[in-house]
């Protein structure tokens, strides 16, 4: 599956670069530009998946044995809390800057774009607080 993703991703990126030569200032050219961007983006996603996906190993009997002791969760590192709080502060700073310079519409757009970062930062803080009572 990884090789297929790598080949498909490389093909999409190559086709996107080749199609970029056909983009012009016409209606068809704008449509071709959108398709080129989407194809290139899909190719990059497939390339990243092909390069970063872990291989799945077949489950062995040693992994599923009931005699195996259960893992005790380790306390979370303070790095999780520091990164989480830093991400929340950075999100607030960036949204404040957008609200002051661009107004409410830009702040709403920025909040939509920064939502994954804010959610990840909150997750890091909550994970730290739940693991270290």
**Tens-digit pLDDT profile for residues 117-130:** 999 999 989 988 88
Please tell me the total count of domains within the chain.
Answer: 2
**Tens-digit pLDDT profile for residues 31-43:** 778 888 888 888 8
Whether residues 8 and 47 share a domain: the answer is yes
Is 61 part of any domain?
A: no
Whether residues 41 and 80 share a domain: the answer is no
**Tens-digit pLDDT profile for residues 53-87:** 777 665 655 555 566 667 766 677 788 889 999 99
Whether residues 77 and 48 share a domain: the answer is no
One-letter-per-residue 3-state SS of 48-106: HHHHHCCCCCCCCHHHHCCCCCCCCCCCCCHHHHHHHHHHHHHHHHHHHHHHHHHCHHH
* Predicted local distance difference test score (pLDDT) of residue 61: 52
Is 29 part of any domain?
A: yes
């Amino acid at each position: 599956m990884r090789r297929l993703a790598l080949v498909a991703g490389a093909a999409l990126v190559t086709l996107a670069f080749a199609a970029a030569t056909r983009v012009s200032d016409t209606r068809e050219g704008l449509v071709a530009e959108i398709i080129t961007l989407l194809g290139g983006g899909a190719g990059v996603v497939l390339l990243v998946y092909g390069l970063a996906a872990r291989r799945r190993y077949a489950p062995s009997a040693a992994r599923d044995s009931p005699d195996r002791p259960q893992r005790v969760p380790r306390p979370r590192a303070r790095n999780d809390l520091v990164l989480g709080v830093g991400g929340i502060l950075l999100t607030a700073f960036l949204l404040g800057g957008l609200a002051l310079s661009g107004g409410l519409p830009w702040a709403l757009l920025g909040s939509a774009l920064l939502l994954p970062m804010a959610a990840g930062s909150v997750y890091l803080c909550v994970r730290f607080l739940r693991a270290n009572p």
